[in-house]
Each structure stands twice: as C-alpha cells, then as structure tokens.
Amino acid sequence: MLEIKDLHVHYGNIEAVRGVSLDVEPGKVTLVLGANGAGKSSTLKAVAGLERPVQGSVHLNGDDITRLAPHKLVRRGVVLVPEGRRVFSPLTVAENLRLGGYTAPKEAYDETLARVYEMFPILADRGNGAAGLLSGGEQQMLAFGRALMSQPKVMLMDEPSMGLAPVVVDSILAKVRQMADSGIGILMVEQNADAGLDVADQVVAIARGEVVYSGVAGDARSHASVLRAFLGEA
Ligand code: ATP
C-alpha cells in the first residue's frame, strides 16, 4: 500500500537518510528500529511531508505522493502521530479530536468519533476536560484518536512509548496492534525494540541512514545483526 523507495534526506552536509526503501501493508505494523541519530525520524518526516527528500519516492496505492504537503497527505489518508504526542493542552479532549477530523467527510464524523470513543473509552470519559490534564498514556491515546479522526489508511508513528511507564507502554502498543487489525497500515519508529517487536509484523533496522536489516518481526530477535545493533551488545 505505502511504498518508500530509495529515500534520501539531507540537512546541509548531513546525509541523515541514504537510500531507505520499505513497504507498509494494510493491517500490518512495520517497525523501524535504530540507534539515536540513525535516521528514523527523518524517514518518517520525509514521508509525512515535513522534510523534503532530495531523492527517492513515496507511493500510496500506486499514486506518487512524494513531497506533498502534510495537509494534502492527510486528505490522501497518510497521517503522522508525532513524537511527544503534541496534543493541544488548553483545548478539551473533544476539541482535539474535532481538529483531527476537520479534513474528513462531515457525514462520517459522528460515526468516526463513536469508533474512536469505543477504542479509547477514556477519551469519552474525559471529553470535556483539558487535554493537558491527561496522563502521558492518555495523551498518547488522544494523539492516536486525533489521527484516527482523519480516517487514515496509513499512520506514521514516532516513538509512541517515549516517556511512558513500562506498564503503560504495553497497553499503548496493544492499541497500535488493534488499530492495525482494523485495517490501517502502520509505520512505527520505536526505541523500545522488545515491546515494539511484540506487536510488529515486519521490522526494518536502520543504521547511519541505511537499511541494514529487513524481515519478519518474529525472526528479528534471533537475527544477530539486529540484536547486536539494536537490542544491546549482548
Ligand atoms: P533519534 O532516535 O535520536 O530521534 P533518529 O534515528 O530518529 O534518532 P534522526 O532524528 O532522523 O535520527 O536524525 C538523523 C541525523 O540527522 C542525525 O545525525 C541528526 O543529528 C540529524 N538531524 C536530524 N534533524 C536535523 C535537523 N533539523 N537539522 C540538522 N540535522 C538534523
């Protein structure tokens, strides 16, 4: 569904991404692993229209969507759940969700909101409360819910477990799995390799801007280079 081919992202002289290719399929989670500075976020940002790739292409169901602006990508069904959640703290939970749904067809709004509330009951409970008063895990759920309001085909997620307590990490990643199971294709950058592998279908490991491993998540744990580079030096 989403095909990333030979992507290159530069910041001046820094070649942050050097020829990354990967695919995201409907209903599947593709996990991107890599050390700090490997080029994971830059890859996501280039797909999401936040950085301009100097080379390479991104196709969605055969359509070239390379370098489209973020709002156009959202209309096409590609939405980013940013690192650090970035909920609008002074606004209520319901207002945050409404903002996520502004590009979606009006007829479907209520139905989509009902589905989001069904998947994240806490958001329904806290609908009139300020988003800034939610816990970290709840804010991550709001970031997911806000993205879901645009009725995405593909969700790009940058470190959804960052800064969350271990017990919360598992429930957040279980939600990622649930969203994929509803048919959405997910491209997820996650430092927490162990927890990420539990919910992923495919895994791509990036080092110094290049893909150094790509395979089925279930095989990744036993693959020596992945273990060495990304799960510690054990
Ligand atoms: P992290 O887990 O630390 O976020 P990452 O794998 O996501 O790492 P990127 O954030 O994509 O890595 O960074 C890749 C390289 O590009 C790094 O060397 C980083 O310093 C550099 N870089 C990232 N963003 C910028 C920027 N806006 N300007 C200049 N250099 C940048």
| pLDDT tens-digit map of 15-58 | 999 999 999 999 999 999 988 889 999 999 999 999 999 999 99
Q: Which residue type is seen at 134?
A: L
SS3 200: coil
The predicted model gives 3-8 an average pLDDT of 98
- Residue to mutate, 14, 44, 45, ligand 1, most ligand atoms under 8 Å from C-beta: 14
Decide: 44 in ligand 1 pocket, CB within 6 A. no
Decide: 102 in ligand 1 pocket, CB within 6 A. no
Decide: 192 in ligand 1 pocket, CB within 6 A. no
Question: Which protein residue has the closest C-alpha to ligand 1 atom 31?
Answer: 11
pLDDT in tens, 117-147: 999 999 999 888 888 899 999 999 999 999 9
Answer yes or no: is pLDDT of 207 > 60.
yes
**Ligand 1 atom closest to 9 (CA):** 16
Decide: 11 in ligand 1 pocket, CB within 6 A. yes
Answer yes or no: is pLDDT of 226 > 80.
no
**Predicted pLDDT of residue 221:** 74
SS3 189: strand
Model's pTM, two decimal places? 0.91
Query: Which of these, 169, 168, 162, 172, lies nearest to 142 by C-alpha position?
Result: 172
- Could you tell me the distance, in angstroms and rounded to a whole number, from the CA of residue 53 to the centre of ligand 1? 14
**Predicted pLDDT of residue 82:** 87
- Could you tell me the distance, in angstroms and rounded to a whole number, from the CA of residue 37 to the centre of ligand 1? 5
> Residue 182 is encoded by which pair of tokens?
């509803």
Decide: 52 in ligand 1 pocket, CB within 6 A. no
**Predicted pLDDT of residue 209:** 94
**Predicted pLDDT of residue 233:** 40
**Ligand 1 atom closest to 39 (CA):** 11
